[in-house]
Structure 1
Amino acid sequence: MSATPDVMTAFTSGLADINLTESAAPRNGEKAAGMKSASATIYDMAATLSGKGDLWNWGMYDRELAEEIRARVPGFGEPWTDGFSEQLYFLALRDLPIDLDDYAGRTVLEVGCGMGEGLNFLSRIVPGAQLTGLDLSPKAVARASATLARGESLRFVHGDAEDLPFEDGSVDVLVNIESSHTYPDLGKFLREAARVLRPGGHLSHIDVFTKQRTATMRQAAKETEGLEWIADNDISDRVRAAVRRRMAPGSHFRTMLGKQRMNPLMRQVVAHSQILMFGGMFAGYQPPSTIKVLSKLGIVPWMSGLPMESYRHQIAVRR
């Protein structure tokens, strides 16, 4: 099972249009619909083919943050995970002006939850909260519902970030991690976030940005009524640190990959593809000589992706 060339073209061209055009003007009509359809198809494929993975996002590395998690989740980290993806999720709640011990009865919505592993992790950080994950991929939602859901405490629904299927003022905290760079209309998503948040509720937004998308985000944020932006933190160095540690020989990522049954050449190709997908270019990755040769032969891409400039954590409160 693989995405067709037409789907991949629609997705990559859509990403380029969204992230390389400095404009907050909405992208709608057939072009936006095509991008969303392609995105859902690709993440449907990922949900169908991937096992229980450690790579949910580019991750971040902060020793003090890891120790804070360990204090709340005994045994956190090796040998089951490198902990980098989890640290990014932990940051999403930890940096809000809400004590992590004060989440009982609060509603937390993650928009763009993928296969739900990040939200499942947060359920251990804030027990007693009611957590809901939403994603555009029906198969990702189906997988999360089948393997992770636990009644009202952790559930998953299918939906569109630009048209959230929730009532006005029904959410205390909305989390959005490494997802909005695929949204054709960023302003519409922010307006939806403002609509579903209760007065005093918080939006915790984490994503990677091109120079143009940063300008688009700032313009869209300025134009969104009801949200007061209280933080904009550049966490690029900590994200690059995580990506570099994943790339290093002997890392958890490479060790787990080494246990999979495949020939050494295929293992190099898979590692190369995963590194590109999860922030390699952003962290200064250079392919090994074998990959360079395969690239010259047109067998694998040498480098790919958008010229991402920063990785940011932005927080807003609903007035």
Structure 2
Amino acid sequence: MNRPDVMTSFTTGLADINLDETDGRRAGAQAAAMKSASSSIYDMAATLSGRGELWNWGMCDPDLAAEIEARLPGFAEFGTDGFSEQLYYLALRDLPGGLDGCAGQTLLEVGCGAGEGLNFLSRLVPDTRMTGLDLSPRAVARANATLARGDSLRFVQGDAEDLPFEDSSVDLLINIESSHTYPDLDRFLREVARVLRPGGALSHIDVFTRQRLQTMRRITAELPQLTWATDHDVSAAVRAAVRRRMTPGSRFRRTLDRQRMNPLVRTIATHSQILMFGGMFAGYRPPASIRALSRLGVVPWMSGLPMESYRHQVAVRV
């Protein structure tokens, strides 16, 4: 499958998953096609992205940034704008035991990508044994080659809907901006409940369409093994981060500008990156040059799913 076919399959699958009005389950050839496309997309991302580049849409909360700065002085001064780190920090801070309660625990991130987010968390809570899992073989290979540190930080390839871990073997599980790509959300959450120890916790952060949120709430109501402690809408802070990144002169824009491209290619690349990292969610409207190119069929003018909220939800295994 070539790159345009992969992208078409991925975007079609995303729309099918997130606009579904029925039960939120996809199986068989349909699910396999989406997973294959997703793996290929993130294989390409792992190959093309630089060390420490964007891991998620991020969030902009001055209080969170100050808390991280107190623990890791200067964390946002080199190679990052600090927004992606804030989402990862939130994932642990709002667990029942907070960051300090992570000491001596086993933590699994499902959907870890190239491992940069989990590597950041390993600096915050160094006594926690961390494992990252991702569907993309290339992302996992890169993470193990550049970030792994024995049993304290390791990465494995696997499927979120069929976790390669024993029952009740994990204390903490995080899932950040990943589950909206899963064909069967119910199966994923049942796998979470299976691998968590009683009293263990899930920190789930993702973006939702209206339909996907309805599916999530129906599934969680029917899953007695997990008790949902919190459900916070963090959309405003996420939109603030995306808008900061879209601003000319931001670290995000400067990184794109440094790449060797002719002006037309750079315009298209910038537009594509803004769409990929939450532009539509934050009110992005393409410039006149992109609108002109869209009329010629060179690029899509408006694209993206109607994502309505970005949420942080915490559950405890009964």
Q: TM-score, normalised on structure 1? A: 0.97
The one-letter code matched in structure 1 to 2:51 is K
Quote the offset at 1:304 in angstroms: 1.1
Partner of 1:275: 274
Quote the offset at 1:79 in angstroms: 4.2
List gaps (5 residues or longer) in structure 1.
Answer: none
Quote the offset at 1:261 in angstroms: 2.0
More off after superposition, 298-307 vs 204-213 = 298-307
2 CA distance for matches of 1:219 and 1:201? 22
Partner of 1:125: 124
Quote the offset at 1:263 in angstroms: 2.3
List gaps (5 residues or longer) in structure 2.
Answer: none
The one-letter code matched in structure 2 to 1:247 is M
The one-letter code matched in structure 2 to 1:198 is R
Provide the aligned length of Structure 1 versus Structure 2.
Answer: 318
Q: How does 1:181-200 map to 2 (within 5 A)?
A: 181-200=180-199
More off after superposition, 256-265 vs 89-98 = 256-265
Partner of 1:42: 41
Classify the secondary structure of the residue corresponding to 2:305. Answer: coil
Does residue 177 of structure 1 match 2:176? yes
2 CA distance for matches of 1:66 and 1:309? 25
- What is the RMSD of the two structures over their aligned residues, measured on CA atoms? 1.3
Quote the offset at 1:104 in angstroms: 2.3
Quote the offset at 1:299 in angstroms: 1.1
Q: Identity percentage over the alignment?
A: 72
Partner of 1:311: 310
2 CA distance for matches of 1:39 and 1:80? 27
The one-letter code matched in structure 2 to 1:71 is A
Partner of 1:148: 147
Partner of 1:103: 102
Classify the secondary structure of the residue corresponding to 1:113. Answer: coil
The one-letter code matched in structure 2 to 1:304 is S
Partner of 1:139: 138
Partner of 2:157: 158
C-alpha deviations, 1:46-70, integer Å up to 9, x for none?
Answer: 1122222431111000001000000
Equivalent residues of 2:88, 2:121 under 8 A apart: yes
Quote the offset at 1:257 in angstroms: 1.9
Classify the secondary structure of the residue corresponding to 1:316. Answer: strand
Partner of 2:91: 92
Q: TM-score, normalised on structure 2? A: 0.97
Equivalent residues of 2:17, 2:24 under 8 A apart: no
Partner of 1:237: 236
2 CA distance for matches of 1:22 and 1:74? 46
2 CA distance for matches of 1:201 and 1:212? 28
Quote the offset at 1:291 in angstroms: 1.4
Check 1:30–1:82 CA distance in 2 against 1; reply closer, same or farther (3 A cut): same
Classify the secondary structure of the residue corresponding to 2:101. Answer: coil
The one-letter code matched in structure 2 to 1:114 is G
1 CA distance for matches of 2:23 and 2:122? 34
Equivalent residues of 1:168, 1:196 under 8 A apart: yes
Partner of 2:14: 15
Equivalent residues of 1:254, 1:271 under 8 A apart: yes
2 CA distance for matches of 1:232 and 1:206? 10
Classify the secondary structure of the residue corresponding to 2:174. Answer: strand
The one-letter code matched in structure 2 to 1:63 is P
Q: How does 1:32-71 map to 2 (within 5 A)?
A: 32-71=31-70
2 CA distance for matches of 1:100 and 1:215? 30
More off after superposition, 68-77 vs 101-110 = 101-110
Quote the offset at 1:102 in angstroms: 3.2
Equivalent residues of 1:134, 1:159 under 8 A apart: yes
2 CA distance for matches of 1:148 and 1:39? 23
Equivalent residues of 2:148, 2:154 under 8 A apart: yes
Does residue 261 of structure 1 match 2:260? yes
1 CA distance for matches of 2:225 and 2:216? 16
Equivalent residues of 1:7, 1:38 under 8 A apart: yes
Quote the offset at 1:266 in angstroms: 2.0
Partner of 1:251: 250
